[in-house]
Structure 1
Amino acid sequence: MIRSRILWKLFVGYVVLILLSTVMVGVLISKQVEKETLKEIEQSLNVRATLLRGMALDIFSLSSKKKHQERIKSLGKVTNTRFTIIRLDGTVLADSQEDPKSMDNHANRPEILAAYSHGQGITTRFSKTIDIK
C-alpha cells in the first residue's frame, strides 16, 4: 500500500512535469513561428514596395486623383496587398482599401518616421482604418 502511494505520487509528479514542459515548448515554438512568419511577411512586403516604387511615377503621371485611387485599388486587388501612398507631409494620396479623404495624416506614425530617417520603416500595429493588426 505504501509502495503504491509512492508510485502514485511519482506518477502525478511526472505528469505535471511533462505537462509543464509541453506547455513551455509549445509557447517557445509558437513565438518562433510568429517571428518567422513576420519575417516572411516583411520580406514579401519589401518586394511589393520595391515594385510599387517603380510603378509610382507611372501611376502619378496620370492627371486625376480619381485615376490614382483606381490604379492603386486595382493593384491592391491583383497583389492581395494593401497599398497606401502618402505625400512627404503625411497626407494620404491613394489607398488600395479605403477612401484617402477619410484617412488620418500619417506623418507621425512610427513606420513613416523611420522611413523618413532610414529610407524604410516597419512596424506591427493595429489599424483603426481597417480594424486589424
Structure 2
Amino acid sequence: MALKIRLARGGAKKRPYYRIVVADSRAARDGGFIERLGSFNPLLAKDNEQRLTFNTERMQYWLQQGAQPTDRVAKFLASAELIAAPAQKNNPIQGKPKAKAQERIRAAQAAEEAAAAAAAKAAEEANAAEASE
C-alpha cells in the first residue's frame, strides 16, 4: 500500500481549511485516511503560528515508514526542517518561453561570454606586459 502525506480539504465554499493526513494514495482527496497529523489554514496571516500546525513526532514516524509527502506538504516539512527542500519542478502548464524570450536569453548569455572573454584577454595582456618588463 503506497502511503501519501497530503492535504484533505474542509471548510465552506471560498473558506478553505486543510487537514494534513496520511492516506492510501488511491483514496479520494477528502475520503478515508489513516491518521490526522495536523492542519493548515491558508486564511490566516503567514506569521500566525496557527496557520500551520502538525505533530512532528508522528510526521517523522510516517516518513520513516515510507510515506511520501505531496509537493505542498514537502514545502511545509522543509520549512520546519524535517526534510531537505524539494527540487523545483518544471511546470508543465506554464510551458517553455516563447521565441522572443529565448532570443533575449541567448543575447544575455552571449553578452556574458563576450565580457568574460574580454576580461580574460585584458588579464592576459597585463601578464604579458609584466613579463616583458
Smaller-chain TM-score bracket = under 0.3
TM-score normalised by structure 1 residue count: 0.25
TM-score normalised by structure 2 residue count: 0.25
From the two aligned structures, give the one with the greater helix fraction. 1
Q: Relative CO higher for 1 or 2, CA cutoff 8 Å, sep ≥ 6?
A: 2
